[in-house]
Structure 1
Amino acid sequence: MQPDEDFLPFMQTHSDSLLRRLFSDYGMVLVLLLLILVVSILTLEPQNLTGREAGAATADQILAAYGQQAVVAIAVPAGAADRQYLEGVKARIEQAGGQIAGAVSGSPAQARQMLQRAAQSGVAINALAVTGKSQEWTVLDSVRQDGQIRFFVPQVRWWPNFLKAGNLLGVANQTAIYAIIAVGMTMVIILREIDLSVGSIVALSSVTVAGYLRYFAGGSSAGAGALTIACLLALLVSAAAGAVNGVLLTVARLPSFIVTLAMMLVARGLAQRLSNQESIGDVWLPPAFRTLGGGSLAGLPNPVWIMIVLYPAAHFMMSRTAFGRKLYAIGGNPEAARLCGIRLQQVKFLVFTLSGALAGLGGLLLSSRLNCGDPKYGDMYELEVIAAVVVGGTSLMGGEGRMLGTLIGAFIIAVIRNGMNLLGIESSSQNIVLGAVLAAAVLADQLKRRWQSTR
């Protein structure tokens, strides 16, 4: 029985459409996962276990060798996990009837002093519990060469440096600020425009909030009300800078490249003038200011939570509201959108104002996290943000792009940069790699458009 001739073209068309949709929805996710896998393999190294459980395991090794005759000294660095390791060793040794001759969580000099005091008091130490870092302290070389004290180190396991909890949180925290700014940039690029001023607006926002707290709100003694006003003022100034971009674009009909390039210079200059080209440090800022960008909730930094809330809202706006559909319509065909009654200039003004406000929010979070206002903040942020948007699949030709793609693009850029940092690649080489990634993303977009035009 021969298949229906009309059915075969339908199935082929349906299959092609399904594959395109699957690649569009999940292709960037697969790229990100593959990149994480590659970076994890490249940063795979032997890791000493840390924490209280590692300390207990090390103590068990000592007890297996010496039993209740164990006379133990402990020398570890000053980190929180190292202190937990020290407590784990100490608790297990004392519980088993052994003796703790001394314990230090600090510097190599403090470890040397501890061992000297033990020697002067006549205590015969036979075991020294150390970590992977403290066993390399040169002050312990003479002890190791003497051979009378046996070194005990936590067990080793292979684990990628990239997948350490602290590193992953750092990547997410740093990415959050870029990703927040990239929400506005995505809308701008979908409109076939560009915004080069976001990095300078980050600096302007940072200086505005810190300057207000220092000069008008009592500095480090500023209360919650003054802190709220300072944050709102920073957002308002940033939105005003974006609104100026929108006015020059829509009323003066200047190209967005020129408009935002000018604002990039103006905003940076204003930030330098307002701060006298100096940073406004934590001496002048209230302790509560650091909570916004430096605090955490349920183990996640606050900027990450803001990003998590912002992206679903932005996705809903772009995919489920009339405003979002207008953006795609204008970016896809401005003339057709105008003939359909869409007010192009009004939409562009709102988008650039929103882009400025989101850049201001990014500057506010950055300033809070570092507990400092600085006119140098945000340098080259515009290129990082544009790279994230383009790598995430938003077309520079306008009319195409998704918020989820932008978020994935931001993480792709962050994973690449973090991986290169962990591998010790110098900054100049990192810039070359990121430039190549951006060029490849634009080339891929152009090839996709050419392929689509031939179908």
Structure 2
Amino acid sequence: MRRFPPGTELIVALLVLALTLSILTWREQSPEGASGGNEAARSLVARYPKAQRILVVARGTESDRAFTAACEKQLVESGLEVVAKVEGTPIDVGNMLRELKKEKKSIDAIVCHRVASAWVPVSQANELLGVDQPIPVVSATSYYWPAFLKSENLINITSQIAVISILAVGMTLVIISGGIDLSVGSLVALSAVVMTRLIRDYAGAEQASTIGMVVCGLTAILVCAAVGAASGTIIALLKMPPFIVTLATMLIVGGLSFLISESKSINQVPPSLGWLGNGATLLGIPNCVVLMGVVFGVCELLLQRSVFGRHLYALGGNPRAAVLCGIRTERLLVVIYALCGALAGLGGVVYASQLRSGAATYGQDYELQTIAAVVVGGTSLSGGEGTLRGTLIGSLILGVIANGMNLLGLNTETQRIMLGLVILAAVGLDRLRSSRWLKRSPASPGNSLGV
């Protein structure tokens, strides 16, 4: 009898990984965006109550522009005068100070982002203005905190894994049935180019309406579902190995994507296309993450609470017994691969929304990342075992690893090596888990989460 609930091992592994990255990314932080601007303005008022004429300085990034806007508003509300605002580089700051000197305008203090506080023109502002007394420089109070645990980084992780996680849902169904689908990465590209091509040619391009984009997206998903159904039909009727069939499908679909896109990126789409991939409507949660949660929830109910789910586990556990029980395995396989194709198409729609374009190069290596997420999540490559809860945790583990390597400054080549090692480790653990000497009791379908 197991001492801990199913999935405990994965949850512990995820927590240990998060703790390790938190320690490795512990560094000095400074408030960013609007909150940083408000904090810097309040700090100036508290430390230099006599300062009246203020220069606000930050970089030209989107976050820093929010910083300067909030800072300026807070200063004006406090009754201070913002003489000038610089959003750019040290050169821009120097030019502004020289312009103020030329116009014989004085400043009492400089409020700036923490990064800008180290710029030479800021520290030498009195010399550039031709005054003897040093000009106070105020920035938001810094603090120490793991970069990994910053709220924007955690939200970024969930956004980054959204597409892979959606693909992993379909892959979980396929692997539980005892198969594999290597075409999901190519289907992401096909979905993206079909949708954007339809938007460009038939829905009005940059002036496309919301209804037009929805119709184009649904069409792309249906095309991918049809491709998946075709693969499932060949596997079911001709009894061909899923590996071979989906490998051929991957090559065929990849070629079609290049033909449809004419080997070019399709970016004649309206800015509103980015709502699904980059927007955040519900409580600040990215829309793509909300969609990912809905997909997981619906498919988890389908897998655990329906006849379809029971038949799926039976097919993966013992195909011969499933046939003898009266399960129409051929039709079930077609439905499974069609669902996997449709979810890959949905992933392609989200990906195209995130990048606001479509290209045949999208989705490269996604089939490997998807399989890795599923196997890390405890789904057996032998079929008949696995849950979507485990797949979700597996996707999070891979996302945390990738994000941690980015924070630590590791290059793409190293990340690919790590992905390969994770796949090898996951498959190796799957084989150990399947060994009779490791099993103390028969596994019940749908309850295997641990590695």
Length-normalised TM-score, structure 1: 0.89
1:63 Cα offset (Å): 4.6
Of the structure 1 ranges 359-368 and 157-166, higher mean CA displacement relative to structure 2 is found in 157-166
Partners of 2:163 and 2:289 lie apart in 1 by 8
Partners of 1:65 and 1:328 lie apart in 2 by 67
Aligned to 2:245: 259
SS of the aligned residue for 2:7 comes to: helix
Residue 60 of structure 2 corresponds to residue 75 of structure 1? no
Aligned to 2:304: 319
Residue 158 of structure 2 corresponds to residue 195 of structure 1? no
Aligned to 1:86: 68
Which deviations, in whole Å up to 9, do the C-alpha atoms of 1:65-105 show, x marking residues without a partner? 54325543221123455345435554565566655432223
Residue in structure 1 matching 2:400, options 415, 419, 444: 415
Is 1:62–1:70's contact at 8 Å kept on the other side of the alignment? Answer: no
Residue in structure 1 matching 2:292, options 284, 293, 307: 307
Aligned to 1:350: 335
Q: CA 1:69/1:384 → structure 2, altered by over 3 Å: closer, same or farther?
A: closer
Residue 167 of structure 2 corresponds to residue 181 of structure 1? yes
Of the structure 1 ranges 408-417 and 135-144, higher mean CA displacement relative to structure 2 is found in 135-144
Aligned to 1:122: 104
For 2:308, give the aligned amino acid.
F
For 2:102, give the aligned amino acid.
Q
Residue 281 of structure 2 corresponds to residue 297 of structure 1? yes
For 1:350, give the aligned amino acid.
V
Aligned to 1:285: 269
Which deviations, in whole Å up to 9, do the C-alpha atoms of 1:101-136 show, x marking residues without a partner? 322234434322321122123234342222122123
1:332 Cα offset (Å): 1.0
For 2:233, give the aligned amino acid.
V
Partners of 2:233 and 2:34 lie apart in 1 by 60
SS of the aligned residue for 1:102 comes to: strand
Partners of 1:291 and 1:314 lie apart in 2 by 24
Residue 135 of structure 2 corresponds to residue 149 of structure 1? yes
1:49 Cα offset (Å): 2.2
What is the 5 A alignment of 1:203-218? 203-218=189-204
1:214 Cα offset (Å): 1.5
Residue 230 of structure 2 corresponds to residue 244 of structure 1? yes
Of the structure 1 ranges 157-166 and 214-223, higher mean CA displacement relative to structure 2 is found in 214-223
Is 1:126–1:148's contact at 8 Å kept on the other side of the alignment? Answer: no
Partners of 1:67 and 1:440 lie apart in 2 by 61
Partners of 2:412 and 2:320 lie apart in 1 by 44
Residue 90 of structure 2 corresponds to residue 104 of structure 1? no
Q: CA 1:158/1:200 → structure 2, altered by over 3 Å: closer, same or farther?
A: same
Q: How many aligned residue pairs are there?
A: 435
Q: What is the root-mean-square deviation of aligned Cα atoms in Å? A: 2.3
Is 1:130–1:153's contact at 8 Å kept on the other side of the alignment? Answer: yes
1:250 Cα offset (Å): 1.1
Of the structure 1 ranges 365-374 and 289-298, higher mean CA displacement relative to structure 2 is found in 289-298
Q: CA 1:386/1:69 → structure 2, altered by over 3 Å: closer, same or farther?
A: closer
1:142 Cα offset (Å): 4.2
Is 2:193–2:359's contact at 8 Å kept on the other side of the alignment? Answer: yes
SS of the aligned residue for 2:50 comes to: helix
Partners of 2:279 and 2:34 lie apart in 1 by 25
Is 1:68–1:98's contact at 8 Å kept on the other side of the alignment? Answer: no
Aligned to 1:427: 412
For 1:74, give the aligned amino acid.
V
Partners of 2:199 and 2:213 lie apart in 1 by 7
Give unmatched runs, 5+ long, in structure 1.
1-15
Which deviations, in whole Å up to 9, do the C-alpha atoms of 1:14-42 show, x marking residues without a partner? xx23x15x1x2332122212211211221
1:138 Cα offset (Å): 4.8
Residue 142 of structure 2 corresponds to residue 160 of structure 1? no
1:221 Cα offset (Å): 2.6
For 1:259, give the aligned amino acid.
V
Is 2:200–2:269's contact at 8 Å kept on the other side of the alignment? Answer: yes
1:246 Cα offset (Å): 0.8
SS of the aligned residue for 2:143 comes to: strand
For 1:294, give the aligned amino acid.
N
Q: CA 1:329/1:365 → structure 2, altered by over 3 Å: closer, same or farther?
A: same
Partners of 1:399 and 1:209 lie apart in 2 by 35
1:53 Cα offset (Å): 5.3
Aligned to 2:16: 34
Larger helix proportion of the pair: 1
Partners of 1:174 and 1:306 lie apart in 2 by 13
Q: CA 1:209/1:390 → structure 2, altered by over 3 Å: closer, same or farther?
A: same
For 2:236, give the aligned amino acid.
T
Partners of 2:30 and 2:148 lie apart in 1 by 15
Aligned to 2:27: 45
Partners of 2:184 and 2:172 lie apart in 1 by 12
Which deviations, in whole Å up to 9, do the C-alpha atoms of 1:281-319 show, x marking residues without a partner? 1xx213443323333222122211111111121111111
Is 1:55–1:88's contact at 8 Å kept on the other side of the alignment? Answer: yes
Which deviations, in whole Å up to 9, do the C-alpha atoms of 1:197-230 show, x marking residues without a partner? 0000111111111111222333223334432331
SS of the aligned residue for 1:75 comes to: strand
Partners of 2:269 and 2:42 lie apart in 1 by 48
Partners of 1:406 and 1:400 lie apart in 2 by 12
> Identity over aligned residues, as a percent?
39
Is 1:202–1:359's contact at 8 Å kept on the other side of the alignment? Answer: yes
